[in-house]
Amino acid sequence: MAYNLLKGKRGIIFGALDENSIAWKTALSVHAEGGTFVLTNAPIALRMGQLKELGEQTGSEIIPADATSEEDLKNLVTKSMEILGGKIDFVLHSIGMSVNVRKGRSYMDENYDFTAKGWDISALSFHKVMQTLYKNDAMSEWGSIVALTYMAAQRSFPDYNDMADNKAYLESVARSFGYFFGKDKKVRVNTISQSPTATTAGQGIKGFNGFINFADQMAPLGNATAQDCADYTITLFSDLTRKVTMQNLFHDGGFSNTGVSREVMDKFE
């Protein structure tokens, strides 16, 4: 059901690769709520992915940008304001990739060039996106910036590898930049800590099926799906959450505050 919560709002959505992507579902929901936006992804992902289809469905233009490139980001931000006809009200950073994970390197055997590249893509890019928006004075007052994260930033999950460190950095950037964006421009910055979700990035994690089923049986409400995440993100982009900022918001059906569930206990009795 749509409530027109984003009527008249303009945004940029990073990271829709295919219809499973959290950013893809979010783009469809933002569109249903009356928001307009530019879609963006890395040039390589645009060649391989299906973003054109999403652009057509939502009447959105697509601007390629490698989120690690300051030049690409400046071009993206400037062109988005031209296309959308004004400053930006909402931004979704939905980007993650570990080169160590992709190349099968364990946490105890990191290749540090891979580590640096993965950190740049998954964590520092959030700072680069916000610095570009800030310096170009591209955000409207009471605008909202959201990035997606995972609880491995707080607790150890052995197979999450160096993405755990990347997520800890990402969440810290949200707090640190959130202070300045709040003070200087009245813009809020938050991270959503999402349940394991079956997407290209999610399924890259070793033992993902066990991981997602365990979380589902632990959480009193079950895992939050990609669509649930899209719905939650809409509220953070809307005017109903204007004083929520610098937060890491768990969106996981209660998993993060559950010690153990009856279902999991039953397996050990």
- For the bound state, the minimum distance from the C-beta of residue 141 to ligand NAI, rounded and expressed in Å, comes to 27
Q: Does 146 bind ligand NAI (CB under 6 A)?
A: no
21 annotated among ligand-binding-site residues: yes
36 interacts with ligand NAI by CB under 6 A: no
Whole-angstrom Cα distance, residue 96 to residue 88? 23
By CB under 6 A, residue 199 contacts ligand NAI:
yes
- From the list 31-39, 136-144, 191-199, 241-249, the region that binds ligand NAI by CB under 6 A is 191-199
- 223 near ligand NAI, judged by CB under 6 A: no
Q: Which residues contact 265 (CB under 8 A, 6 or more apart)?
A: none
Among 99, 121, 164, 230, binds ligand NAI (CB under 6 A): 121
89 contacts ligand NAI (rule: CB under 6 A): no
Phi, psi of 24 (to 5 degrees): -65, -50
User: Would you please indicate which residues are annotated as catalytic (active-site) residues?
Assistant: 150, 160
Among 60, 161, 191, 197, binds ligand NAI (CB under 6 A): 197
Question: Nearer to ligand NAI by C-beta: 68 or 217?
Answer: 68
The answer to whether the annotation marks 95 as part of a ligand binding site is yes
Q: What element of type H or E holds 116?
A: helix 112-119
Which residue reads 């009471």 in tokens? Answer: 142
Can you give 125-181 as a three-state secondary structure string?
HHHHHHHHHHHCCCEEEEEEEEEEECHHHCCCCHHHCCHHHHHHHHHHHHHHHHHHH
Give the H/E segment covering residue 247.
strand 247-251
Q: Compute the least distance from the CB of residue 46 to ligand NAI, in Å.
A: 8
Distance CA 196, CA 251 (A): 10
Minimum distance between the CB of residue 120 and ligand NAI, rounded to whole angstroms? 8
Q: Does 73 bind ligand NAI (CB under 6 A)?
A: no
